[in-house]
Amino acid sequence: MNSSDPTPLDPREASVLKTLIEAYLEAGEPVGSRLLAKLYPEALSSATIRNVLAELEDEHLVSQPHASAGRVPTERAYRYYVDRWILARGQAGTADPRLEGALRGLDLDPEAWARQAGRVLSEVLQGVCLALPIGLVQSRLARLEFVPLPPNRAVAVWVGAAGEVEHRILEVPPSLTPAQMVELGNFASTRFQGLTLPELQGRLLADLRSGVEEGRLLAARLHQMAAKWSEAEGKSESPVLVSGVGQLGHLPEFDDVERFRGMVAAFEEQELLARLLNAFGEQARSEVKLILGSENPFLADFPLATLVRTVRLGPEGFVTFALVGPLRMDYPRALAGLDWLGQEMDRRRG
């Protein structure tokens, strides 16, 4: 946990916090000391419970919505709970068998399949599901080739490290010969292997600005071609597919109409959602990435938990999914569901 996390809790504080969080996850209402005393596995008086709650409040792990109300967990408490009792102990739940429906239509094109899978994830795991078929923004270069396509065009073929293949038809300078195109591909494959397209562009620009002479002409030509590829990528970028926004409107966390409207508006901003998925998609290729509340710079104004998982489609590329729900989420169930999807896709496409 990072430096802003609470100091280590003693066993009693930790146990009371866990009991409170699980009671709140179940009921969605502030938890009072009397209820906690009944739920707590050992015999503790309400007065002792209140003292522990005061200590947890000092640590900003619980808050009291109203003077006469019970306590609710804070964002900090959810992070403590997930890290200590879910992730660290491998206590994710069992995947819901209804998630099998997310695998239907794998023979469809990536966007059509992602739309189908997103609907199933939203319905089964009870949240908003975002899905984005990933292009070159996260693919890491294994080989780059340029195949002449007269007049003054070429097919640029990008082969990624995971076997994904992307291609674009680009305009090329009339002076660029077929032999130079081969040399250009070999230069890129050797010098920039393992980089994403944005990283490759950044490295090229740095080399050109620094005046490095080695391969300068090739670097200049490659920079020009990479820019054209980015333009083509931007024009053909798939939209973020959104399923299940209406489900959040039924939750007590979003009783405030204005707040709910603001959240719905955020889910309509395609550029914002694409930046979210691209920002965390790389980290989510081997496991589920969990972002809580203000940890998410793209949805920081809302009390939301976001779980991200990128799944491999084989040569067709990847799809990044994000399940978004309230902080009061069934974390074991949601983590297990997205983890199952990633592992099942790896098994089927492996």
Structure tokens at 281: 């998609």
Residue 129 bridge partners (DSSP)? 243, 323
Number of domains in the chain: 3
Cβ neighbourhood burial of 21 (10 Å; 0-12, 13-18, 19+) = buried
Residue type, 248: L
Examine residue 3 and state whether it is found in any structural domain, yes or no: no
CATH of the domain at 344: 3.30.450.40
Q: Are 180 and 191 in contact (CB under 8 A)?
A: no
Q: Which pLDDT value is given to residue 77?
A: 96
If asked whether residues 153 and 302 sit together in one domain, one would say: no
CATH of the domain at 22: 1.10.10.10
Least Cα distance to 335 among 295, 292, 301 occurs for 292
Q: Which pLDDT value is given to residue 236?
A: 44
3-class DSSP assignment, residue 319: strand
Q: Are 134 and 317 in contact (CB under 8 A)?
A: yes
CA angle, 100 as apex, 94 and 105 as ends, to 5°? 155
Q: Measure the CA–CA gap between 31 and 54, rounded to whole angstroms.
A: 13
Structure tokens at 337: 């569901």
If asked whether residues 172 and 262 sit together in one domain, one would say: no
Domain hosting residue 72, numbered range: 11-87
- CB atoms < 10 A from the CB of 171, how many? 13
If asked whether residues 262 and 219 sit together in one domain, one would say: no
Examine residue 92 and state whether it is found in any structural domain, yes or no: no
Residue written as tokens 């950044």? Answer: 202
Structure tokens at 35: 């209820």
Q: What is the pLDDT along the chain (350 residues), one digit of tens a residue?
A: 333 455 689 999 999 999 999 999 988 889 998 899 899 888 888 889 999 999 999 999 999 887 777 899 999 999 999 999 888 766 556 788 999 999 998 877 788 899 899 999 999 999 999 998 865 556 788 888 888 877 778 878 888 776 666 667 778 778 778 888 888 889 889 888 988 877 777 777 676 666 555 556 777 777 777 776 656 554 445 578 999 888 777 777 777 788 888 888 888 888 889 889 888 988 898 899 999 999 999 999 899 999 999 998 876 578 999 999 999 999 999 999 999 999 999 888 76
Examine residue 5 and state whether it is found in any structural domain, yes or no: no
If asked whether residues 275 and 341 sit together in one domain, one would say: yes
What global pTM score does this model have? 0.71
Q: Which pLDDT value is given to residue 234?
A: 47
If asked whether residues 226 and 274 sit together in one domain, one would say: no
Structure tokens at 322: 């994000």
If asked whether residues 128 and 253 sit together in one domain, one would say: yes
Q: Which pLDDT value is given to residue 252?
A: 77
HSE, side-chain direction, 13 A CA sphere, residue 96: 18
If asked whether residues 44 and 126 sit together in one domain, one would say: no
Residue 240 to residues 33, 165, 288, 302, Cα–Cα distance (Å): 44, 21, 19, 20
Q: Measure the CA–CA gap between 274 and 267, rounded to whole angstroms.
A: 11
Q: Which pLDDT value is given to residue 347?
A: 85
If asked whether residues 148 and 187 sit together in one domain, one would say: yes
Q: Which pLDDT value is given to residue 61?
A: 96
If asked whether residues 247 and 108 sit together in one domain, one would say: yes
